[in-house]
């Protein structure tokens, strides 16, 4: 992945503020943070998105997300955490190397990370029958 910015960070070709690393995963501070300690947890191996990531790598990322969340809680006094992820352009993915945003939350931080929508479900039963068919 010649032009992938996260692969370049993992290869050490681009500098990043690394706060956690193990054999499969790195976690770096987001360069445009939306809260104190906002970071990105990234598999070292290139996967585009949730659809092609290896299950073992995903398990490691989730386990490491908990470690980073605890780090943010204990060291930065975060009170809560939002996990944000996008897979595919339609979901507003901007870097096409799988990653999860870990957003520490603080009392009265003014953030609203929950999407707003006017969508109303017409039939939950239709969805159920389609998904479970
Ligand atoms: Zn990559």
Computed over every residue of the chain, the mean pLDDT equals: 96
User: 29 C-alpha vs ligand 1 centroid, how far in Å?
Assistant: 17
pLDDT at 8 over 60: yes
* Residues whose Cβ atom is located within 5 A of ion ligand 1: 1, 4, 6-7, 46, 97
pLDDT tens string 80-123: 999 999 999 999 999 999 999 999 999 999 999 998 999 999 99
How far is the centre of ligand 1, averaged over its atoms, from the C-alpha of 112 (Å)?
A: 29
pLDDT higher than 90, residue 15: yes
Tell me the CA–centroid distance for residue 5 and ligand 1, in Å: 6
Sheet holding 25-29, edge to edge: 18-21, 25-29, 39-43, 100-105, 80-84
């Amino acid at each position: 992945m010649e032009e992938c910015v996260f692969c370049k960070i993992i290869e050490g070709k681009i500098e990043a503020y690394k706060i956690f690393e193990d054999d499969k995963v790195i976690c770096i501070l987001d360069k445009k943070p939306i809260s104190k300690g906002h970071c990105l947890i990234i598999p070292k191996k290139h996967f585009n998105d949730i659809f092609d990531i290896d299950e073992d790598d995903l398990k490691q990322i989730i386990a490491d997300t908990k470690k980073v969340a605890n780090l943010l809680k204990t060291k930065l006094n975060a009170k809560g955490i939002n996990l944000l992820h996008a897979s595919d352009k339609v979901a507003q993915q901007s870097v096409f190397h799988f990653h999860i945003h870990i957003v520490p939350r603080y009392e009265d931080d003014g953030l609203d990370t929950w999407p707003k929508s006017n969508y109303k479900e017409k039939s939950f039963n239709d969805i159920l029958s389609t998904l479970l068919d």
